[in-house]
Amino acid sequence: MRQLVVIGNGMVGHRLVEAVLSRDTDTPWQITVLGEEPRPAYDRVALSSYFDGSGEEELRLPDLAERPGVQVLLGESAAALDRGARTVTTSAGRILAYDELVLATGSSAFVPPVSGRDLPGCHVYRTIDDLEGITATAAAATGRGDTAGVVVGGGLLGLEAANALTLLGMQAHVVEMAPWLMPRQVDEGGGAVLGRLVDDTGVVCHTGAALAGIEPAPDGAGLRVLLGEEGPDRRIVDAGIVVFSVGVRPRDELARSAGLEIGPRGGAAIDAACRTSDPRIYAVGECASAEGTVYGLVAPGNAMAEVAADNLAGGDAAFTGGDTATKLKLLGVDVASFGDAQGATEGALEVVVNDAPGGTYAKLVVSDDATTLLGGVLVGDASAYAGLRPLVGRELPGDPLDLIAGDRGGSGGGVGVAALPDDAQVCSCNAVTKGAITTAIAEGETDIPALKACTKAGTSCGSCVPMLKNLLADSGIEQSSALCEHFEYSRAELVEIITATGVSTFSELIDRHGTGRGCDICKPAVASVLASLGGGHILDGEQAALQDTNDHFLANLQRNGTYSVVPRVPGGEITPDKLVVIGEVAREFGLYTKITGAQRIDLLGARVEQLPAVWARLVEAGFESGHAYGKALRTVKSCVGSTWCRYGVQDSVGMAIRLEMRYRGLRSPHKLKSAVSGCARECAEARSKDFGIIATDTGWNLYVGGNGGFTPRHAELLAADLDDETLVRYIDRYLMFYIRTADRLQRTSAWIEQLDGGLGHLRAVVVEDSLGIAAELEQDMQRHTAGYADEWRGVLEDPEKLERFVSFANAPDAPDPTIAFDIERDQPVPTGPVALGMPEPPAREPATAPSGGAARHEPAGTPV
């Protein structure tokens, strides 16, 4: 049995072991993996999803320790390498013998040698431990009022770090020495558009700025970041946290100490077989130098891992260079670059479409005869990336201008999947060709999960998944649109069935058109459809048992078992008397109060049995449900508009109130958010909403399909310069068409992307009435507005509905003894750590003493 030691348990080291195990050899391997971190291997490409709610479990790669012949030593690094004896001494004093050894030690974050870089509050952005430290520091900073965070470095990882700080509730500042952001990936023109798009997200960009130093704030809390040379032009940013994301350096200290040859920019020098100067030792990933280049992306690292594994098995594979193509969404902005993005090839020509007002930039770099694609840059709209990147170095299938300025809405721009040759790489991260995917489809892999498992395509960054769908469709395989195992119909088809047959209950629908008893997928989905089609109060009869936890109690469940109360504040406008009532209610019931980003006041910490009493006070004062708990319209945010603002050209507050009152309570496939800005300065952030309205000198521009959240997206212009009545009419049609045709839990952005024809088709339906259903859609909306009734008023007026609002069935007035609070900043907060990665708080007496226990009442249909 041959002994293989792999030093490094990151993504590339993990890939190397999988590749070795996948190859047949005459002599089996005994593999030992040394992992410096105390946790199993995880997906660093998706590391930023940690701040979107993904935990360590979701990021983990398959456990190598479960594979036969593999030993994984976590929290144990290599301390010394003896090439003569062919042994590795670990940090735990263990001595491991090897026949072959692979260095996969990765890289470390570079921190510029400026004063103050080691102060508390300074972090790097590389590992889960780093992210946990950033989370804790950000929470402490915002808690004391230091809401600014500085990211040093405006490259790929720097903008991801800025997004992380934004998600942690901080005002992010990005410091980049180059004249524009992402200087290694995009050119000056793309950088200018990218800078404006990032500015629009609220991130403050300091380009062309040198970091001079960091010093403690005068009050001892927080930091002062010094930019530029000392003098009147020096800029100072007061910050609660500093994150360095300037670049990486190869972790080659072990290779150096063992006397291996080092590349000109660091890293163990390797040949085409990924061998170092010692033929028994290989190096892969960011610790390796291939012909003087150190690659900092996962795709070249995976390619090296495959080459090394092949040679370990007796093959002769060669590493000929890495694919440095990149596509990602940063702060809601699409960015992609591939091939020779900077046009460095001699004689190269550039074809550029720069739509600065529309926020898009596209450039193709082609050969001097304009027949071969060399590279490209896409900013603001990267839909063409999937079709263009595989064509680098190949003959163009058409006019280069048409490929980026023709059909901008479809996947792949003007390049269809049929135009790609079989040897074109569809997945660059894992080097999977179109031919490999079509072969897998022909052999019976007929859906996306099966293709991922079989070929590994789409399992890293995920940017090639749209191409996988296209390849399935091109092979004549139709993907199932069934809502769940109990209905063979899609949500949109069920809407048509309910509308045509007049079915009014879930039981009747499943008896006539489904099977079984239903599940937690179809029950709330059908309940939402029935509600949106005028099915009565959400808690009437059978409807109540279909709802998920939030709709059961018309409130958002919080992490400690309490609920939030969010009264509607249309357009953000509220009278002093109503403000007083909210304050009185919060004080009377001991609730935590917070002004939300959507111009509402959130009251958190209400126990379930308190909800009716809280809402009784609010309803009496004229408030109604804000539907923060439902898949429905949440808010229509507004700026102050022409009423107050010197830049305003229309009454944005009045329009926001009109729209919110019109669409309040409208149940839909997913939550809906809107905003109205009174001028092009866009203070209400309308383009981040499902439908956003921006005032013009002559009317309103209507934008659709935007959202924040896990995959942020800017809305796109549907129609321009509309008068008030036309605007409302188009929104009626848009929303009802979405409700009729979207899938369950599908945001408007994803819905528009999957429509045949995309935004163009939607415009044809809504504006031009191409399907002849505009009148029907308007009538549907009219029925909703005519039949609207406040859900919480309906509960308070119905004793039967009120009976559900108890924590315990046998003690209706007893509070839940498991709920306890601490006091922070003079407000009640749940007892326990307030954020993932923060230490447990010191023990304190709870703000409310627990009372006696009783049998908990779990309402029917509530997921547990």
- Closest among 710, 538, 555, 709 to 626, alpha carbons compared: 555
HSE-up (13 A, CA, CB side) for residue 330 = 27
CA distance 233 to 230: 7
Number of Cβ within a 10 Å radius of residue 770: 14
Going through 83-232 in order, the beta strands assigned E by DSSP cover 87-90, 95-97, 100-103, 107-109, 122-124, 148-152, 171-176, 204-207, 211-216, 223-227
DSSP reduced 3-state for 550? helix
- Closest among 42, 50, 16 to 31, alpha carbons compared: 16
Number of Cβ within a 10 Å radius of residue 670: 22
Helix 465-474 / helix 434-442 crossing angle, nearest 10 deg: 50
484 marked ligand binding residue = no
645 marked ligand binding residue = yes
DSSP line for 328-362: EEETTEEEEEEESTT--STT-EEEEEEETTTTEEE
HSE-up (13 A, CA, CB side) for residue 402 = 8
Number of Cβ within a 10 Å radius of residue 712: 20
- Closest among 43, 16, 104, 47 to 285, alpha carbons compared: 104
CA 23 to mean position of chain CA atoms: 36
- Alpha-carbon torsion (555, 557, 561, 565), positive or negative: negative
Q: Using alpha carbons only, how large is the chain's radius of gyration in Å?
A: 29
Structure tokens at 177: 């020495």
CA distance 591 to 569: 18
CA distance 87 to 95: 6
CA distances for 855 relative to 807, 809, 812, 815, 864, angstroms = 8, 6, 10, 11, 15
Number of Cβ within a 10 Å radius of residue 569: 22
DSSP reduced 3-state for 148? strand
Residues in binding site for siroheme:
683
Residues in binding site for [4Fe-4S] cluster:
639, 645, 679, 683
Residues in binding site:
639, 645, 679, 683
